[in-house]
Amino acid sequence: MSDIVLRADGVGKRFGGFTALSGINLEVRAGERLGLIGPNGSGKSTFTNCLAGAFPSHDGGFTFKGEKLAGLKSHERARRGLARTFQLPRPFRGLSVIDNIRVPLAYAGREAATDEAAMACLESVELAGKASRMPKELTQVELRRLELARATALKPDLLIADEAMAGLSHTEVDQILALLFRLNERGTTIIMIEHVMRAVTEFSQRIAVLVAGKKVADGDPRAVLSMPEVEEAYLGR
Amino acid sequence: MDPDLVLLLNGIVSGLLLGGLYAAAAAGLSVSFGMLDVVNIAHPAFMVLGAMLVALLWGATGIDPLVLSILLTPAFWALGAALYVAYHHFFERRGDEAIQGLAFFFGVLFIIEVGLVLTLGPEQHFADASYANTTIQLGEVDLPLRMLVPMLVSLLAIGGLSLFLRRTFMGRAIAAVAQDREALRLLAIDPVRVKRLAFGISIALAALAGGALVVVQPVDATSGHVFIGRVFAIVIMGGLSSLGGCVLAALAFGVVENVTATFYGPSWSPAVAFGCLLLVLAVRPQGLFGRAA
Amino acid sequence: MSDATLPGVTLTAPRRMGHAAFWLAAAAVGLAVILALRGIGSEYVYFVSTIVLQYVVLATAWNILGGYAGYVNFGAAAFFAAGAYATVAFGKAMGLGLLPCIGLAAVVGGALGFGTGVLTLRLRGAYFAIATLCLSVVLQTIVVNWSYVGGSRGAYVLRPRDVPWPFETYSGFLCAVLVVLAAASVAIARTIETSRLGLGLAALRDDEQAAEATGVPTLRLKLVATTVSGAMMAVAGAPLPFIGSYVEPGSAFGLSYAVNAIAMPLIGGTSSWAGPLIGAVLLSSLQQAATVTISSAANLLIVGVLLVVFVCAAPHGIIGLFRGRR
């Protein structure tokens, strides 16, 4: 039991009359690389927002490292080691690159907020040379790396990478993938939400598929991707 | 009849009439704030500007104040359109709406007020309509035309606007801006043009509301202050972009305020305004407001 | 009072002045200003400096919430007046002098700020701004109906006859008190700005959800900011009854305080403590000059026009112009 880092029990979310997510059960083992896929509007982002605490009220519940998350605010979940990146990078635009990293270091309290710690974090995503730049001077791929660096500065036990590679070139996708692999080797469990199928298949040890707010498959990547429901969900659109 | 009941009945009726004035003041804001997401806190100042101009023109010509205010609407439309062009150029386009945009309208409010004081003086201005001293009596209930006529004119204008929004192409485009900017792009309509038109309409409505205001009461340069909280409360209570909701909320607001004033004294009216706003802000889930940030 | 401390602005420099060093520098500048004013020793200079310094405190206080956290408070006049009326009420009820009244005004303003925060900070920007505007109207209504502090007629406050040593006149003493308050508020603002709290506020100003996701307790930080900012705005208003010997709601709640509290930081630049300082000194000196040479209504028009021009053309204020586009 103890190596289950995250468990979702019957998680559901409605917006008005629209059911965005219903009855999601999911277990993630410590150190695992899980791919979470599904067509647009299938509920992946809603799931992320429920887990990260951005939507405080939803059905069901999460257990993270043996602790129930219900009632915890986003920042409390972040401090417990639950990190996320945003689909579109959302840097603090008024802060320099290194100050962006200082925020999680100073507030999550899992590591001293020294310049060295911040630089080390930037070095791990190869942004050390741009420490004093402002976010608007960065390229798209650099913004993605900053987004990842800011999440990893929390020293998370679980990282949800929400479409960290959308719109990037082949080599840029490889860079981000290498980054995520390195992070995983250091013990961080990663849930990758992604449309770039090459990245998902290369990265994931297991794949879960959401369609229209329900989990339709969960298991070995090759088996899951060859299931007719999954193919239909992707090609039928 | 029981005198308390008569008092209550009269309180409700004159509250409805007052609500008509509030509806006029809030309708324009419902377009700019509710539909376009432009936080124009200078809206009541534009209403006062309209009222002062009507008073001035009335002094010169003696034409009915409400007719004058209708004559002012094209000029106010142009003023609003120009203001929106500036707002869009400096803030919306830059994505810097939050602080600077708010401060911009605050500055505009201030310029209008001080400008009015400098040109027309700090004293009260008024305009009497020919019917101002007539009161219809229905049994024990008084219906002063001074309140009734502005209310009817405002409701007519709001009804007309509502029809325009529902029936015409440009009107539906404005309603679409409120919901989904992308949809407009797909229809190949320039959202900036649509918003300019709509913001012009909102300021034109402020002129009309100014005409109604000056018929109801004398106006000075700072008369707009007491309306700021009220109109925003009404627009938010009315569901932001719904004109019908705005009118209903305005009438309810007028009744609550007037009945409070009748039974507990007028000094409590602002407290009711503030209380209602806080209540509305506290009760409505935060998510619905997210887009205004 | 600004020039000697300006070198601290260079944010891009790797080494910044420490908190203690900055407080010492602020104290030194404050002392120098007091001595210089004493050297001039003119009642008019005391009066003008007192007004200017009052605006330094007010603008600096506003900027802690408005500039650092990005929450626009249109109700600055309400906090300012709360401070002024705290002096009137406590002075009348307990016979307290200026200094204890300033302390009590800070408590009143802080409580007011905290209360406003609890009620409204769950709201997003524009709604918070509107709510503060309403707060101003409600407080004014209460004061107008409160006969103990003079109601709408206003209240007279007599300056004490004994002037504290080593000052020759009460105006000189008052001016020195404001120098201290101004130096302290600038130092407080700078301390917040360069501390963990300032970093968190800057993060939530840019993106609250992302700030939460990186562990920043946004609601708590906003409450701290509203409380500190409210307390300091009330402190700015506390000496008002002693400056003119007379307060009335119309002027204490006047829109000119609200607009100046916003215009000064925005014109100076909101991202740094130096912005409100520069904006307040420039704008209030300009207004004092305009009041003498033109008219008091015209100088308010100047503020409005400058505010609009600056937010349009120079969104980062004067310090933004010098620093270049960051």
Over the stretch C30-54, which tens digit does the pLDDT of each residue have?
999 999 998 888 888 999 999 999 9
Q: Using an 8 Å Cβ cutoff, are A28 and A214 in contact?
A: no
Confidence (pTM): 0.86
- What is the spatial distance between Cα B212 and Cα B22, in angstroms, rounded to a whole number? 10
Quote the minimal CA–CA distance from C199 to chain A in Å. Answer: 6
Please state the rounded mean pLDDT for residues C234-252: 89
The residue in chain C having the minimum alpha-carbon distance to the alpha carbon of residue A52 is C213
Owning domain of residue A229: 4-235
Q: What is the number of structural domains in chain A?
A: 1
Q: Quick one: three-class SS letters along B94-113?
A: CCCHHHHHHHHHHHHHHHHH
Tokens read off for A175: 């860079």
- Write down the pLDDT at residue C39: 87
Q: Using an 8 Å Cβ cutoff, are A85 and A162 in contact?
A: yes
Q: Residue C2 pLDDT more than 50?
A: no
Digit-coded pLDDT (tens) for A101-133: 999 999 987 667 778 888 988 988 888 899 999
State the residue for tokens 């996701």.
C213
Cβ <8 Å between B106 and C259: yes
- What is the spatial distance between Cα B127 and Cα C137, in angstroms, rounded to a whole number? 27
- Write down the pLDDT at residue C58: 96
- What is the spatial distance between Cα C274 and Cα C5, in angstroms, rounded to a whole number? 9
pLDDT band of A191, cuts 50, 70, 90: very high
Confirm whether B136 is domain-assigned: no
- Write down the pLDDT at residue B164: 92
Tokens read off for C252: 């204490």
Which residue of C12, C214, C219, C272 is the best one to mutate when testing the A interface, meaning the one whose CB has the most A CBs within 10 A? Answer: C214
- Write down the pLDDT at residue B92: 80
Cβ <8 Å between C214 and A109: no
- What is the spatial distance between Cα C225 and Cα C240, in angstroms, rounded to a whole number? 24
pLDDT band of A1, cuts 50, 70, 90: very low
Q: Residue C13 pLDDT more than 60?
A: no
Partners of A52 on chain C (C-beta within 8 Å) are: 213
The residue in chain C having the minimum alpha-carbon distance to the alpha carbon of residue A113 is C196
- Write down the pLDDT at residue A235: 59
SS3 A95: coil
One digit per residue, the tens of pLDDT, for chain B of length 293 reads: 678 888 888 889 989 999 999 999 999 999 998 888 888 989 999 999 999 999 999 999 989 999 999 999 999 999 999 999 999 888 887 765 577 888 899 899 989 988 998 898 888 988 888 887 888 888 888 888 888 999 999 999 999 999 998 898 888 888 777 766 666 666 667 888 889 999 999 999 999 999 999 998 899 888 888 888 788 888 887 877 788 888 998 998 899 888 888 888 777 776 776 677 767 766 653 323 333 32
Please state the rounded mean pLDDT for residues C165-176: 88
Quote the minimal CA–CA distance from A114 to chain C in Å. Answer: 12
Task: Please state, in angstroms and as integers, the Cα–Cα distance from residue C64 to each residue in C59, C123, C254, following that order.
Answer: 9, 18, 21
Q: Using an 8 Å Cβ cutoff, are B18 and B148 in contact?
A: no
Count helices and strands in chain C by DSSP H and E runs: 15, 2
Restricting to C residues 202-221, those with a Cβ less than 8 Å away from any Cβ of B are 208
Partners of B91 on chain C (C-beta within 8 Å) are: 311
| Nearest CB to C262 within list B90, B106, B277 | B106
Cβ <8 Å between C202 and A94: yes
Task: Please state, in angstroms and as integers, the Cα–Cα distance from residue C97 to each residue in B236, C79, C104, C155, following that order.
Answer: 45, 20, 11, 16
pLDDT band of C186, cuts 50, 70, 90: very high
Partners of B232 on chain C (C-beta within 8 Å) are: 130
Q: Residue C263 pLDDT more than 50?
A: yes
Sequence-distant (≥ 6) Cβ neighbours of residue B5 within 8 angstroms: none
Please state the rounded mean pLDDT for residues C275-279: 94
Question: SS3 helix, strand, coil % of chain C, rounded to 5?
Answer: 75, 0, 20
Q: What are phi and psi of C280, to 5 degrees?
A: -65, -45
Tokens read off for B110: 């201030």
Reported as half-sphere exposure (CB side, CA atoms, 13 A), residue C148 has a value of: 10
Q: At what angle do helices C170-193 and C218-237 cross, to 10 degrees?
A: 170
Tokens read off for C322: 């010098």
DSSP string, chain B: --HHHHHHHHHHHHHHHHHHHHHHHHHHHIIIIIIT----TTHHHHHHHHHHHHHHHHHHH---HHHHHHHHHHHHHHHHHHHHHHHIIIIITTT-IIIIIHHHHHHHHHHHHHHHHHHH-SS-B----TTTT-EEEETTEEEEHHHHHHHHHHHHHHHHHHHHHHHSHHHHHHHHHHH-HHHHHHTT--HHHHHHHHHHHHHHHHHHHHHHHHHHS-B-TTTTHHHHHHHHHHHHHTTSS-HHHHHHHHHHHHHHHHHHHHHH-GGGHHHHHHHHHHHHHHHS-GGGGGGG-
- What is the spatial distance between Cα B168 and Cα B161, in angstroms, rounded to a whole number? 10
Any chain B CB within 8 A of the CB of C21? no
Digit-coded pLDDT (tens) for B213-225: 999 889 988 888 8
- Write down the pLDDT at residue A167: 82
Partners of A79 on chain C (C-beta within 8 Å) are: 215
Task: Please state, in angstroms and as integers, the Cα–Cα distance from residue B249 to each residue in B235, B257, C23, C216, following that order.
Answer: 8, 12, 53, 38
Any chain A CB within 8 A of the CB of C256? no
Partners of C304 on chain B (C-beta within 8 Å) are: 107-108, 110-111, 114
Neighbours of chain B (3+ CB pairs under 8 A): C
SS3 A23: strand
User: Tell me, what CATH number does B48's domain have?
Assistant: 1.10.3470
The residue in chain A having the minimum alpha-carbon distance to the alpha carbon of residue C326 is A134
Any chain A CB within 8 A of the CB of C216? yes
- Write down the pLDDT at residue B291: 35
User: Tell me, what CATH number does A91's domain have?
Assistant: 3.40.50.300
Looking only at the bridges linking them, the beta strands covering A18-29 and A206-211 are unpaired
| Nearest CB to A75 within list C196, C212, C326 | C212
Confirm whether B246 is domain-assigned: yes
pLDDT band of C56, cuts 50, 70, 90: very high
Sequence-distant (≥ 6) Cβ neighbours of residue C285 within 8 angstroms: C48, C52
Amino acid at residue number A55? F
Please state the rounded mean pLDDT for residues A147-163: 92
| Nearest CB to A134 within list C205, C213, C326 | C326
- Write down the pLDDT at residue B143: 86
Sequence-distant (≥ 6) Cβ neighbours of residue A65 within 8 angstroms: A5, A80, A81, A157
- Write down the pLDDT at residue B20: 92
pLDDT band of A185, cuts 50, 70, 90: very high
Tokens read off for A146: 């900053």
- What is the spatial distance between Cα B83 and Cα B79, in angstroms, rounded to a whole number? 6
- Write down the pLDDT at residue C251: 83
Owning domain of residue B69: 3-127+145-292
Please state the rounded mean pLDDT for residues A25-39: 92
- Write down the pLDDT at residue B56: 93
Is ipTM over 0.90? no
- Write down the pLDDT at residue C326: 44
- Write down the pLDDT at residue A96: 92
- Write down the pLDDT at residue B281: 67
Q: Residue C9 pLDDT more than 60?
A: no
The β-bridge partners of A206 are: A34
- Write down the pLDDT at residue C134: 78
Q: Using an 8 Å Cβ cutoff, are C155 and C149 in contact?
A: yes
Any chain B CB within 8 A of the CB of C250? no
Which residue of A80, A107, A116, A160 is the best one to mutate when testing the C interface, meaning the one whose CB has the most C CBs within 10 A? Answer: A107
Q: What is the number of structural domains in chain B?
A: 1
| Nearest CB to C210 within list A86, A99, A154 | A86
- What is the spatial distance between Cα C317 and Cα B103, in angstroms, rounded to a whole number? 13
As a whole number of Å, the CA-based R_g of chain C is 19
State the residue for tokens 């940030």.
B293
- Write down the pLDDT at residue C51: 93
Digit-coded pLDDT (tens) for C130-162: 788 878 878 888 888 888 888 888 888 888 888
Amino acid at residue number B176? A
Q: Using an 8 Å Cβ cutoff, are C21 and C39 in contact?
A: no
- What is the spatial distance between Cα A212 and Cα A205, in angstroms, rounded to a whole number? 23
SS3 A21: strand
Cβ <8 Å between A108 and C215: yes
- What is the spatial distance between Cα C65 and Cα B17, in angstroms, rounded to a whole number? 40
